[in-house]
Structure 1
Amino acid sequence: MTSTIRILIADDQHLVRGALAALLSLEPDLEVVAQAGRGDEVAPLVAEHDVDVAMLDIEMPGMNGIDVAAALKDAGARSRVLIVTTFGRPGYLRRAMAAGAAGFVVKDTPAPELAEAVRRVARGERVIDPELALETLDFGESPLTEREAEVLLAAEDGRSVREIAQRLFLSTGTVRNHLSSVIGKTGAANRAEAVHIARDRGWLLE
């Protein structure tokens, strides 16, 4: 690695990308060499610009940041991933780490701390927001099965059981059973509350 750390910033909000790039470019040892507004733009840019650290948002069009991290890992990319997101949710942290991310911080991290997080990740260290790490330990892994999460996502927009069943090619009885299980596991009063709880804890991600 050269003395200057080469950074890619991927975020679907142009103003956020620009602000992060401006802040990091003030550091003499950091250089933003590429920016992306979609997750599926990241891998080609990482290869083209010989990126040391890819700073990824989670919720982006094309491909979410967690899937991008996994794709870079599977491709054997040298670049290390630092998730920088508004959505500091325990489930997201756990999934990001499993996908190969080296760091996870939230966007309101002060600029000097963010710059240091980039340096530490580039050195091969892991950097995790301490409050979020504790919260993740409290909540543990998602109790939802993959199918339950899929049904709950389909229910998020207020679809009827019949509509969910048709969308997922399931019987209405199966959908009801899954929704009942989800409500029980989340401790919610209804499916709308179950969606809110699962979202807040990072157990749902398209």
Structure 2
Amino acid sequence: MKIIIAEDQGMLRGAISRLLGMEDDIEVVGEADDGEEALALIRGREVDIAVLDIEMPLRSGLEVAEILRAEGHPCKVAIVTTFARGGYYQRAVQADVQGYLLKEAPVTELAKALRKIHAGGRVFSPHLTFAMREDTNPLTPRETEVLTYLKRGHTVAEISRLLYLSPATVRNYISEILQKLEAKTRIDAVAIAENKGWL
């Protein structure tokens, strides 16, 4: 099977690549240190599975998975992470990833998981999936959109123009967001949502 590895920590990426490359049935055909580079590799080469770190510069592993799903790309995705966050897990499931794995697991386990994924199976680490039971995102897609604009520093007036909503409606959304996240301020709300993996 042909795989690419996207991981922004160079030493870790190199180690995973070398160790997986020693497996008889695994060929590492590319390495990337950010999400954009990973997308370019997947689109430009014959790749069976993309092993993507969840947090990378430019685009996260989840964003890459979401783009590939939207494009109907045949490349399978295994997300590797150290973060047991319910929001990340939900997005991974929605993006239809085939693997959601713990980064600290031995490479032999990763190789085994990749073989199962290549054969059409799915592998989700039980150490990561437990977070799903606790952290269900209470925000609607529109509230998440409003919060994303707040994160980028947009004002109520700017958000109302961007989303074609009245300023009063935007303020109502913000009020709902603060209440649902039990946040005192907009900055608190952004921090809470980011920490949960919902943004």
The TM-score, its normalising length taken from structure 2, stands at: 0.81
2:160·2:170 contact (CA, 8 Å) conserved in 1? Answer: no
Task: Determine the structure 1 residue equivalent to 2:104.
Answer: 108
Query: How far apart are 1:176 and its partner, in Å?
Result: 3.4
Counterpart of 1:134 in structure 2 is: 130
Contact 1:151 1:164 in 2 (8 A): no
**Sequence identity, in percent?**
42
Q: Which of 125, 138, 142 is residue 143 of structure 1 equivalent to?
A: 138
Matches within 5 A, 1:118-197: 118-140=114-136, 142-156=137-151, 159=153, 163-169=154-160, 173-197=168-192
* Residues 52 and 79 in structure 1, CA contact (< 8 A), matched pair in contact too: yes
Aligned-residue CA RMSD in angstroms?
2.6
- After superposition, the C-alpha distances for 1:97-152 in whole angstroms (9 at most, x for unaligned) are 21121011132223222222212211211111213222202323x22123322332
In structure 2, stretches of 5+ residues that fail to align are: none
Shift of 1:52: 1.6
Query: Counterpart in 2 of 1:54?
Result: 50
Partner Cα distance (1:196, 1:44) in 2: 31
Aligned residues: 195
Alpha-carbon distance between aligned partners in 2 of 1:79 and 1:147, rounded to the nearest angstrom: 30
What is the CA deviation profile of residues 17-57 of structure 1, one whole-angstrom value per residue up to 9, with x for unaligned ones? Answer: 22321232233332211112332333442354321211112
Does the 8 A contact of 2:34 with 2:57 survive in 1? yes
Cα–Cα, structure 1 residues 76 and 195, in superposed 2: closer, same or farther, change >3 Å?
A: closer
Q: Distance in 2 between matches of 1:74 and 1:201?
A: 24
Query: For 2:26, which of 23, 30, 33 is the aligned residue?
Result: 30
Q: Does residue 1:98 correspond to 2:94, yes or no?
A: yes
Equivalent AA in structure 2 for residue 169 of structure 1: S
Quick one: distance in 2 between partners of 1:74 and 1:147? Answer: 19
8 Å CA contact 1:164–1:175 kept in 2: the answer is no
Structure 1 unaligned blocks of 5 or more = none
Q: 1:43 to 1:193 in 2, by over 3 A?
A: closer
Please give the secondary structure, in 1, of the residue aligned with 2:74. coil
**CA drift at 1:95:** 1.3
Q: Does 105-114 or 69-78 show the bigger shift? A: 69-78
Native 8 Å contact 2:84 2:129 kept in 1: no
Q: Could you say what secondary structure the match of 1:108 adopts?
A: coil
Q: Secondary structure at the match of 2:64?
A: helix
Would the alpha carbon gap of residues 131 and 187 (structure 1) be closer, same or farther in structure 2, given more than 3 Å must change?
A: farther
TM-score, structure 1 length as denominator? 0.79
> C-alpha distance in 1, partners of 2:135/2:76?
27
